[in-house]
Amino acid sequence: MKHLPRADGDLRGLDKANISIPVASGGFAELVINLSNSHMSQAKHYYHCASKGLEDNVLFASREQFVSGMNRVGICRILIPEVIIFAFVLMDNHVHFILYGTLEDCNRFMAQYKRLTCISVSQDNGRKLEGFEFNSWLIPNKEKLIEKICYVLRNPFVAGMGVMPTSYIWGSGPLMFNPESSRAFHPLGNTSIYSRRKNFSTTVDIPSDWLVDDKWMLWPGNYVDLIRAESHFGCAAKLLYELCKKNEDLINQEMYGSSISLHDNDVLSILERNAEDLFGNKCLDYLDVEQRLDLIRAMKKQGTSDVKQLGRLLHLKYSELRRIW
């Protein structure tokens, strides 16, 4: 199978950069801003690129939309071949990518994914995505790279979906150390050009030796640098060991200055109990905006979760949440 170009270095040049990474609130964001104005913005490095979770909207509301979202990753890889994808995951309201390239090219990749996603959502149901924005964080060394890859792959598990990181199909997790991951896929060259354009909704020339399944989802191994991603772990046992580490609090603190320490399902259970105590009804859907805000105020006093997570679970808009910040 013909593959796109691979990364030409492994964290090359970072030792000479003498980068100091602050871990205080906003540290990584400040670092990336500084780098974007320096000569290092043109050097190739690893970056963690992610969107914040939408508060009152979703990116993918159905299986078909998830398939389309997966295929857009491959299309963006074709359109911007300078960027190498090492890991990614698509959640219903946000996405994460581990990319290799210059900061400018990685941001171009994310901007392209955002543009195509906004077009797709608009065409599907006329919705306009509000707040779908990205940030990029430099990954300074191999230890952090392994940590960030596992952070990305653990996202569905941490969200309480009850699925192993290597089993969640809307990402690169199932590829890792799995020689059978392409079993259900067949060469795209077996299909007509008309059917490709119809099902992929693009005129981009997708390589005919790429693999696709019967639902028209491209095999992620077509566009993820699986060999190099696995090489950082060395073996499946090392991957499983690293995936068992709970690093979300630290990484969220580094990224946004806040942490989410509980699964969504756990927080929902606490919300329901508090709602029953406060309002005599544990059904969250029956609460009006003021009651939901009162519930968040009560939760904040308990230190149970952060406002961002609570607002997302209670389906509150950003403008509504601002009233209690």
Residue 176 identity = M
pTM value surpassing 0.85: no
* Element (DSSP H or E) covering residue 229: helix 226-231
- Express each pLDDT in 4-53 by its tens digit: 544 444 443 333 333 333 333 333 333 443 444 444 457 899 999 998 77
Residue 269: pLDDT band with limits 50, 70, 90: confident
Range scoring the smallest mean pLDDT among 169-183, 185-199, 289-303: 289-303
- Express each pLDDT in 142-159 by its tens digit: 999 999 999 999 999 988
Q: How far is CA 90 from the centre of its chain?
A: 5
- Express each pLDDT in 212-257 by its tens digit: 999 999 999 999 999 999 999 999 999 999 999 988 878 877 777 6
101 sits in the region (left: phi over 0; alpha: psi -120 to 50; else beta) called left
CA dist., res. 44 & res. 102, Å (int) = 4
Domains of the chain: 27-256 (3.30.70.1290), 264-324 (no CATH)
Give just the sign of the alpha carbon dihedral 137, 141, 144, 148: positive
Least Cα distance to 51 among 152, 156, 173, 143 occurs for: 152
For residues 313 and 264, the answer to whether their CB atoms sit within 8 Å is yes
Is the predicted pLDDT of residue 264 greater than 90, yes or no?
no
